Structure 1
Amino acid sequence: MRQMGVSVALATGRSDYSFAKLLENLTADPAAGLPADHIIFSTGAGIMDFPGRRLLKSFSLRPEDVRFIAQVLDSMTLDYMIHQPVPDTRSFLYCLRNNQENPDFHRRLQLYKPHAAPLSPVTLAASHGATQVLCIVPVESGHGIFHKVAASLEQFSVIKATSPLDGQSIWIEIFAPAVSKSQAVKWLAGEIGVSREQICAVGNDYNDEDLLHWAGQSFVVANSPESILARFPAVASNNEAGVS
């Protein structure tokens, strides 16, 4: 596509740090061969050029927003993580409220243990804001809890995603109001002079829905959730080069 003059942006739920680690695991030269001009990370909370990785735009929750969100989630006895603002998104505070098993939460906590610290009244009061607040909920109750959280925090951007770790648990991500993949792509398109009608989006999960509805033309890969497959035309799965 890029050989034909098409600009390519990869929009991911991963943080900039997680995306960089993924590239390191894929190839010895992280920038080599990745067909992208821009990376939209943390579901639209940050935008950078590529391969230079110069930060172009970022959004954060304010300190008072973080404290309010924590209060709401505590009232629901949910487990959550508060990620520091860009570019320090790898670092987070975590809160374990639910006595029920939440293996995906513990799996992620173990994965990023060097960058994690327990939440306390002192650390919450000292917060300088956050890229996002992330709740991790077992799949059995995840969809229902997502709707409750979204209704309680309607002044924020509340986005649902499937866990990339176990492929089942529901991640509920809470961002500043302006954050979403569609809003990030809209901003980027304005910067590079591309109209909405010229944009083609390919998605695979719940956190792509706003972008899929917004773009001029949209597709989903064959291994997307059934509720998304029912609304958009499908291409081959991401394991079979559906995007190419």
Structure 2
Amino acid sequence: MRENGRVTSATRRPETPASTVPTRLIATDLDGTLLRDDKTVSDRTIAALAAAEQAGIEVFFATGRPARWMDVVSDHVHGHGLAICGNGAAVVDLHGGPGAHRFVKVRELEPDTALDVVQLLRAAAPGTVCAVERTFGLHLEPGYPLMHMEPPEIVLPAEKLLAKDALDADQPVLKVLAFHPDMDPDDFLSVARTAIGNRANVTRSSPSALLEISGPGVSKASTLELCCAERGIAPEEVAAFGDMPNDVEMLTWAGRSYAMGNAHPAAIAAASGRTAPNNEDGVAIVIERILAERL
């Protein structure tokens, strides 16, 4: 269902026959989807993405990663395309390769709302510890596990990380990460969504009990929708790929969508089709088919 132009349900709408609407944009998740488990991109996938752009199809990466973790993609796909980062909190232009990335759009989580969310989670799921993702750095609460690709810049309670006089208060908050050491990941997601309600968007992409919390209405899908509207591209002209709950809205919104062979059940339910696992070039297989349809 769509309300005021935004996706509000994961229920699949009927798919427009692919043969009648050519694909103009490809949106693909990274980890577990485009990237193999060793975080590389296969030669076949690199060639498929390049062929899509050469055919006039725009390529968007859509990931929960922050912008500064996009070098792995730029290194392997020659710095082409745009990236929706932080589950929709930012859009980054990758053209030019590592070191030349620039923010095109930022959809921040207000610090007061972020702190409200942290406190609600602590009450609903005691033992929760959080981290704050800003545009240029990740800051942790004491006790938050060192599970990310970089060391934290600051370690303080969330109340201080989100204070008006915080060291980096001039940087927008893109999302809050919430970790629970004992809960089942899907149970933690359910508890968090109930506790937080419509104050923020809550999802997950990790196999652990790690939640990703963005501003209200901010998701891969809603940011992709904004970007497509700016380009005059309709949902029916978009092909999307994903594997985890943070891809559900995007897989629902796109006219053609594919859950990977290794996907979470929620992603499978949201997508209109399936493809091979990430380690078997599932994205490339579909792109090759899309390009063959244009001949």
TM-score by length of 1: 0.81
Evaluate the alpha carbon distance shift between residue 123 and residue 216 of structure 1 in structure 2; reply closer, same or farther with a 3 A threshold.
closer
Evaluate the alpha carbon distance shift between residue 120 and residue 207 of structure 1 in structure 2; reply closer, same or farther with a 3 A threshold.
closer
SS of aligned partner of 2:283:
coil
Relative contact order, higher structure (CA 8 A, sep 6+): 2
What's 1:177 paired with?
A: 216
Of residues 207-216 and 69-78 in structure 1, the stretch that sits farther from structure 2 once superposed is: 69-78
Of 111, 120, 137, 1:63 maps to 111
Instruction: Identify unmatched segments of 5+ residues in structure 1.
Output: 24-29, 97-104
SS of aligned partner of 2:212:
strand
Evaluate the alpha carbon distance shift between residue 34 and residue 222 of structure 1 in structure 2; reply closer, same or farther with a 3 A threshold.
farther
Whichever residue aligns with residue 277 of structure 2, its letter is: S
Deviations 1:52-103 (A, max 9, x none): 423111111112112212221232321111122x2x2x2313243xxxxxxx
TM-score by length of 2: 0.68
2 CA distance for matches of 1:184 and 1:201? 13
Identical aligned pairs, as a percentage? 24
Displacement of 1:192: 2.0
What's 1:102 paired with?
A: none
SS of aligned partner of 1:131:
strand
Instruction: Identify unmatched segments of 5+ residues in structure 2.
Output: 1-51, 285-295
Displacement of 1:169: 0.5
What's 1:94 paired with?
A: 141
| 1:81 and 1:135 in contact (8 A); partners too | yes
| 1:83 and 1:130 in contact (8 A); partners too | yes
What's 1:143 paired with?
A: 186
SS of aligned partner of 1:173:
strand
SS of aligned partner of 2:120:
helix
Residue 190 (str. 1) matches residue 229 (str. 2): yes
Of residues 68-77 and 133-142 in structure 1, the stretch that sits farther from structure 2 once superposed is: 133-142
Residue 17 (str. 1) matches residue 79 (str. 2): no
Whichever residue aligns with residue 69 of structure 2, its letter is: S
| 2:80 and 2:94 in contact (8 A); partners too | yes
Deviations 1:193-228 (A, max 9, x none): 211110111111111000001111111111112343
Residue 220 (str. 1) matches residue 234 (str. 2): no
Matched residue count: 221
| 2:244 and 2:264 in contact (8 A); partners too | yes
Provide the aligned C-alpha RMSD in A.
2.3
Displacement of 1:151: 1.4
